[in-house]
Amino acid sequence: MILGRAGEQGAIAAAERLQQAWRAADPSATFSAGIAVRMSSETPAAALCRADGALYRAKSGGRDRFVLAAIEVAVA
């Protein structure tokens, strides 16, 4: 899901609402999410790749959690 202008806190709030709705539908289900805030110098594809990596870290870290993707800074 892409949330234009949501920022980190808005994305976390949206994920929490989705997790609550998911649990209401099936209390035994887990809900994991990877969250990445796109930097102005970053392509949308790169931000999506970081979010995907964060999702896999959430799943491998025990599931039913959110992981915020690190902001990667290139050093020359």
- Written as tens digits, the pLDDT of the chain (76 aa) is 888 889 889 999 999 999 999 999 999 989 999 999 998 888 999 999 999 999 999 999 888 899 999 876 555 5
Q: Structural domain boundaries of the chain?
A: 7-68
The secondary structure element, H or E, covering residue 60 is: helix 44-60
Which pLDDT value is given to residue 26?
Answer: 94
- The tokens for 4 are 């234009």
For residue 58, give every residue at least 6 positions away whose Cβ sits within 8 Å of its Cβ, in sequence order, or none: 32, 33, 34, 65, 66, 67
Do 58 and 33 meet the contact criterion of CB atoms below 8 Å apart? yes
Residue 73, SS3?
A: coil
The model carries a pTM of 0.81
